[in-house]
Structure 1
Amino acid sequence: MAAKTVLNYLPRESVIHKMTGTTKLAFFLLFTFASMITYNTWVLLGLLVVSLLAFRLSRIKFREVRFMMTFMLVFLLLNNLFIFLFDPNQGTTLYGTRTVLCHLFWRYDLTAEQLFYMVNISLKYFVALPVAILFISATDPSEFAASLNSIGISYKVGYSVAIALRYIPDIQRDYHSISQAQQARGVELGKKEPFFKRMKNSVNILLPLILTSLNRIDTISNAMELRGFGKNSKRTWYTQRPFARRDFIALGVGAALLLISLTVTIRFGRFYNPFL
């Protein structure tokens, strides 16, 4: 089922999973800031190596997150396409040079600077995605709620986020179950069916899914109310782990990456231009 669901926790015996939720949240934020503030290709390549290494250390298989990877690639292709369609000279404006490779049509010239700019855009996505997937897939929802509470966010907000993260895989499993049950009853959703008929048949899946979801939400709400949730201003967490050496190392690595990214950006600028 792991390969059929997204945004779900994947338990493993790895050094990444053994870190505290606070450490993973802090590293995710430091790493994201480090990748956001620069377009320097060499910095992004270094961050990509760290990102892939962290993904490998987590022991999460590619097939388990294949859907998110595929979705990112499709989004990335569309993003680059629209960047080129709306402003084909964005790269030449940023890098200050213009090297025309070929003329396509109308005002669209394919320039080396534009290609290099879109490569850097793509690289930023490839840098951030593995760490984002790790943060979701290697952090238990209750542990994530504890980490949010540890940095000053209300435990009610943290608990709501934890419930949402636990609820997403349940919705996906319900969808697959209802879909298979409806198809067994003759409700066709295949590509051979006309588009509007598929849309109509989809209602037979969405309505039971919505009703099931509302019933589950009501059950959770009643259970929390019976347990007196929200009565006190603070709460304790069973899943909150003590800091260990690996946590301090991860935080040090994240801070060092952010410092390197800032230093290179301030000294050499956000954009590395190989065409000068």
Structure 2
Amino acid sequence: MAANTVLNYLPRKSVIHRLTGTTKLAFFLLFTFASMITYNTWVLLGLLAVSIAAFRLSKIKIREVRFMMIFMLVFLLLNNLFIFLFDPNQGTHLYGTHHVLCHLFWRYDLTAEQLFYMVNISLKYFVALPVAILFISATDPSEFAASLNSIGISYKVGYSVSIALRYIPDIQRDYHSISQAQQARGVELGKNERFFSRLKNSVNILLPLILTSLNRIDTISNAMELRGFGKNKKRTWYTQRPFARRDFLTLALGVLLLLFSLTVTIKCGRFYNPFC
């Protein structure tokens, strides 16, 4: 059975996958800016609905991107924890009111304002996460490189990004294969083994993995040199497709979402205060 990989392209027959790389890159940037400039709860909820709808249209299943979601949830919990530890009154300062729900210890009071502020922080992550996962999982690396080149970035940079995105799943598969070989030789990496023993055995896998990676990089470098890569200032792309109607509609949606978020933020303020 093939190893489960993360940060890899998942081909599907969906409207999201049929969009050009340039469209997906532009929409990702527009949508990210729209979610970054505001903490207004209603705007974030609207963006969240769009984000979930886009994820459903992509036909990518949650179990296929479970690792990325779990990683983001852990990061989100740690982020909220440190926000509260370093400044438990941040929400009070922002909203201008103070409603204590319960006293915890020392200077730490759990206030409704701080809780609401951290909920909005979490909303921003939940808004951006599905679109970020889609951008990675629904964009072919070569198509992504072509999209970078189409907005003026050097094709050498785009090609480097493409190789990196293709290389990450290969490294994961190599690690899985070496791990299986080591376990067949009696090296225990299962959950029954103690944590530090598993960590030590996992580190022992890194040496053959690094050697395999260096050999692959050398092979790729020689192949590119033989093909005269970098000789010309420009290059063509097999994966660069012409814009279709769906691309223009997607870009229009991204611009409208950004303008909506910006308008509400200017008119109503960056923060929505339910405690007034």
Q: What is the TM-score of this pair, normalised by structure 1?
A: 0.98
Moved over 4 A (4+): none
Offset of 1:184 from its aligned partner?
Answer: 1.0
Question: 1:6 and 2:11 equivalent?
Answer: no
1:191 to partner: Cα distance: 3.9
CA apart distance, 1:71: 0.7
How many angstroms does 1:197 deviate by? Answer: 2.9
Is the CA contact (8 Å cut-off) linking 2:3 and 2:176 kept in structure 1?
Answer: no
SS of match in other structure, 2:103: strand
The one-character-per-residue Cα deviations of 1:155-210 (angstroms, maximum 9, x if unpaired) are 00000000000000000011111111101111112344344433332232111111
Task: Name the counterpart of 1:125.
Answer: 125
Kindly report which structure 2 residues correspond to 1:29-68, keeping only aligned pairs within 5 A, or say none: 29-68=29-68
Q: How does 1:47-126 map to 2 (within 5 A)?
A: 47-126=47-126
How do residues 196-211 of structure 1 correspond to structure 2 at under 5 angstroms? 196-211=196-211
Distance 1:3 1:202, change over 3 A: closer
Per-residue deviation, 1:2: 8.1
**Given residue 60 of structure 2, which amino acid in structure 1 is its aligned partner?**
I
Query: Secondary structure at the residue paired with 2:243?
Result: coil
| 2:234 is aligned with 1:269 | no
Kindly provide the amino acid, as one letter, of the partner of residue 260 in structure 1: F
Cα distance in 1, alignment partners of residues 63 and 200 from structure 2:
32
Return 5+ residue gaps in structure 1 as ranges: none
The count of residues paired between Structure 1 and Structure 2 equals 276
Q: Is 1:3–1:66's contact at 8 Å kept on the other side of the alignment?
A: no
- Give the letter aligned to residue 79 of structure 1: N
Which string of whole-angstrom CA distances, capped at 9 and with x for unpartnered residues, describes residues 59-110 of structure 1? 0011100110111111111111111111100100111111101111110101
Q: Distance in 2 between matches of 1:202 and 1:253?
A: 46
Structure 2 length as normaliser, TM-score? 0.98
Percent identical pairs in the alignment equals 89
Aligned-partner Cα distance in 1 for 2:229–2:117:
50
Distance in 1 (CA, whole Å) between partners of 2:36 and 2:203 is: 41
SS of 1:4 mapped into structure 2: coil
Take 1:194 and 1:61, find their aligned partners in 2: how far apart are those partners?
33
Q: Which amino acid aligns with 2:244?
A: A
Give the whole-Å Cα distance in 2 for the aligned partners of 1:98 and 1:196: 46
Correspondence for 1:162: 162
Aligned-partner Cα distance in 1 for 2:62–2:198? 31
CA contact (8 A) 2:20 2:143 kept: yes
Gaps of 5+ in 2: none
Contact kept? 1:51, 1:130, Cα under 8 Å: yes
SS at match of 1:186: coil
- Say if 1:2 and 1:252 are closer, same or farther in 2 by CA, change over 3 A: farther
Q: Closer, same or farther in 2 for the Cα pair 1:2/1:134, shift >3 Å?
A: farther
Q: What residue is the counterpart of 1:259 in the other structure?
A: 259
- Measure the CA separation in 2 of the matches of 1:136 and 1:102: 42
- 2:54 touches 2:131 (CA, 8 Å); kept in 1? yes
CA deviation after TM superposition for structure 1 residue 3, in Å: 7.7
How far apart in 1 are the matches of 2:117 and 2:151? 36
Verify the 8 A CA contact 1:3 1:65 in the aligned structure 2.
no
